[in-house]
Amino acid sequence: MKKIAILCVLFLLISANTVICSDVICSDEKSYVENLIKSKTEQILSIIRKRDINQKEKKQKIFDIAKPLFDFTTMSKLTLGKKYWSKLTPEQQKRFVDLFVKRLRMVYLDRVDIYGNETISFKPAIQKRKNLIYVPSTVTSKNEKFVVLYKFWKSPNGWKIYDVEVEGVSVVRTYRSQFTEIIKKKGIKGLFEELEKLTQQLNYKS
């Protein structure tokens, strides 16, 4: 349950092997990404701790802050994999992204109310490649600590999160495994039906 609570906060919140860019540019971009996730996390934590707004309003405010940080289209592509994503029509791709975002909102935003007094500390950003920056962090909850890694890529719209790892477990890989199993058993149509069913069962509210 504690890890779920932590994930709520986290969610709300190629090229050559060597980095080909000047030290100044790399440093500036790493600082930008690091400050970006820090500032957004502080805003989200501030909203979570407010007592003068109801849960529905709180969830919407949190999503409005967190949404610009994430590249949901890329996350959706990665969860399906090139093999299945390429088989979808543009309309189906758009619908899948919509359903995937709803799924994430249900899993994480619906549990915002169980967040306690966890603290989050960030370590210096790491430039993995020219277009990839990772930001490590540690979430402390009472006597427990969890290592969380935010993975950013430089999209056409700026630096965006395309995956989050908690204790080495990737959100994207986890969903990809789940979706692949459903597709093998029920096909792409079955996956859409399952996602549609889940949004209805969990009473998703936009």
* pLDDT surpassing 60 at residue 6: no
Q: Is 0.85 surpassed by the pTM of this model?
A: no
Residue 190, classed as helix, strand or coil, is helix
Reported confidence tier of residue 1, pLDDT bands at 50, 70, 90 = very low
- Tell me what pLDDT residue 142 has: 75
| DSSP strands (E only) in the chain | 119-122, 126-129, 132-141, 144-155, 158-166, 169-170
Give the whole-angstrom CA distance, residue 118 versus residue 7. Answer: 11
Residues 98-151: pLDDT tens digits? 999 988 888 777 666 656 577 889 999 999 988 999 999 998 877 788 899 999
Each residue of 7-61: pLDDT tens digit?
Answer: 444 554 422 233 334 444 456 889 999 999 999 988 888 888 887 888 788 888 8
pLDDT at 82: 92
Mean pLDDT of 83-94: 95
Q: Is the pLDDT of residue 165 over 90?
A: yes
Nearest to 29 by CA among 128, 159, 161: 159
Task: Determine the average pLDDT of the residues in 49-77.
Answer: 89
Residue 157 gets the label, from left (phi > 0), alpha (psi -120 to 50) or beta, of: alpha
* pLDDT band at residue 182 using 50, 70 and 90 as cut-offs: very high
Choose among 127, 113, 118: nearest CA to 23. Answer: 127
Q: What is the pLDDT of residues 140-163, one digit of tens each?
A: 877 788 899 999 999 999 999 999
pLDDT of residue 108: 75
Q: Which CATH class is domain 2-201?
A: alpha beta
